[in-house]
A and B are shown apart, each in its own frame.
Chain A
């Protein structure tokens, strides 16, 4: 354990003045990431909240080059940059993509799949806040079942399950992919360090707190992120060449409502006639957790889980 008085970030690699909303996860994520990757890094940013947060022209929040690029092709732009750096002998420069869930699950998925399948030496970070937040909370295929967005308003809340992005990237036989939470900083930093030191296409998916989009209290961002892990809504795991490792198993069973109740985007579900939706989310969450246990070769744990 690191003593509480010791800061995790020893050498700050971002400038002050980032344009994030209160309680947004992007700045915390990028502060940790940049402190681990150092200045010999080129960031590639498709359209997403971070393209605004990092500052308008000519500002740059980061102590590293940022290339802002078209929404659908961050992975392809990074491929070209990687190739040019390699040709010029800069093989130790890290090329890292900072994307949102829309630019990853939806419009950027083809370019991501192409780069992953080619084994490009790129680190892909997806801040998954579960909707197009930069344009004002529109549904993406990462939006959770039951959530309200501006394009799934009120009674027309989202009634399809989000994509299993980690399953999709695992199918590309990546050397490394992992999920991370800002409530588990030491786990997050270990994964960032591990991803930094592996050659090939690596992907980290970070649970992205978003007070305006999730309708949460900005002061509770980290608490809600922690509850997402405790309720198994956002499990922490790693995938190495399709081998799964679960990094955190909650000590006690906590129902999903304990996390959902802090998020206004689910508040319409807390009525008698909608309670079955909450049950469906609980069942889906349990099923995914059991699949993860099975993929991680923890079938015994699965039996133990099932026994009351």
Chain B
């Protein structure tokens, strides 16, 4: 007999609640993201097409043209210009949304930094794909390579989670004046239809007030210079203030998720632990849709747990330590990487080591799976578990072929 693994937050399928003041719709992930932007009453959407993000901005242009969304939608000349326009409109006081992927995110790197350093609130969606040589499939190397651009990063396991996270992110971003990137998986989410609970506009309006005036906003009555040459002592202080606010992200994200759960009925943590306790020998660490696959597979393995990372930047160290508290010292962590960033260790293992340093000294094994869109079916997860248990190696590539 196999014991059913214990799930902390995700309700079992048969318990799916009927959410009040919602409509249940069948939506692809990209359309769910566009719905979220509409519900947040964004005022400015600069856009540039890139697969597999394109249908997000297509849907938003349709909403604006059809009068469903009162926003200014502009077809820009590049992603660099998209984010520069987003920066201008956010400085002008608008609530801004845009979306990109892969090369587009890489191209925008300079402006991502500028937006974060300007302390401008906004939310963008990145539909993960890797760098040229051309590849349009699911991979998180793009967003994970931008971990240090100063944006808060969330990774959505389901399209419902993406929709809900966008709504929560505006609250978080506008409270701290730090921009937020919400990442979804190419095709597995972006182009896959799911049942999505879309909240009523009034329900969202009660939760998310209009953008309040912030310090970083032009005021025609009180002209100032923004972004001019900043001498070292001021630049140092700007970064100190930002650093202080970055420390608040983890707790504030939890607080907002709590309010969201009470208001909408769906609960999210910065991380989620499945079957992690004194009996657990192995913990898979995963983000996005791979988590769903792993969730199913580990039901057969009573001693295998799952740690899902939803908030990835700033890394939710306290949340991770808390859910691993009861894990025995000789347990092993298997980090599942859908990224390759040119180092021996993938981004997930780098982050996990950083978080646990000085606190817990678990053996960590790194598993590259799903890079470049390589499918990660249940069998791959089984192989990871088998290798971790029977032939543990520091670095592993599954079925290189």
Residues of A within 8 A of B (CB): 39-40, 42, 44, 51-52, 54-60, 62-70, 72-73, 75-88, 90, 93, 110-111, 113-114, 117-118
Contacts and interface: CB of A to CB of B under 8 A. Distances in A.
Given A80-B91, A111-B78, 15 more contacts: A56-B229, A56-B231, A58-B224, A59-B225, A63-B223, A76-B84, A76-B85, A79-B84, A80-B87, A80-B88, A83-B74, A83-B89, A110-B78, A110-B81, A114-B76
A84 B228 contact: no
A87 B76 contact: no
Interface of B: 43-44, 46, 72, 74-78, 80-82, 84-94, 96, 110-111, 114, 218-220, 223-231, 234
A42 B224 contact: no
Contact of A84 (B77, B94, B219): B94
Contacts of A82: 88
Contacts of A72: 80, 84, 110
Given A87-B44, A118-B74, A76 B225 contact: no
A111 B77 contact: yes
B223 A65 contact: yes
6 contacts: A57-B225, A68-B228, A76-B81, A77-B87, A84-B92, A87-B44
Contacts, number: 156
Nearest to B89: A80
Given A87-B72, A88-B92, A93-B220, A68 B44 contact: no
Contacts of A113: 77
Contacts of A63: 223
A76 B226 contact: no
B223 A77 contact: no
A246 to B, nearest CB: 32
Question: 10 closest Cβ contacts across the A-B interface?
Answer: A84-B92, A80-B88, A114-B77, A73-B84, A76-B81, A80-B89, A76-B84, A68-B227, A80-B85, A60-B225
Contact of B226 (A59, A62, A66, A70): A66
A103 to B, nearest CB: 13
A57 B84 contact: no
Given A56-B229, A70-B111, A114-B81, A65 B218 contact: yes
Nearest to B223: A65
A67 B91 CA distance: 9
B77 A76 contact: yes
B77 A42 contact: no
Given A40-B220, A88-B93, A93-B220, A56 B230 contact: yes
Contacts of B219: 65
A69 B88 CA distance: 9
Contacts of B94: 80, 83-84, 87
A87 B89 CA distance: 10
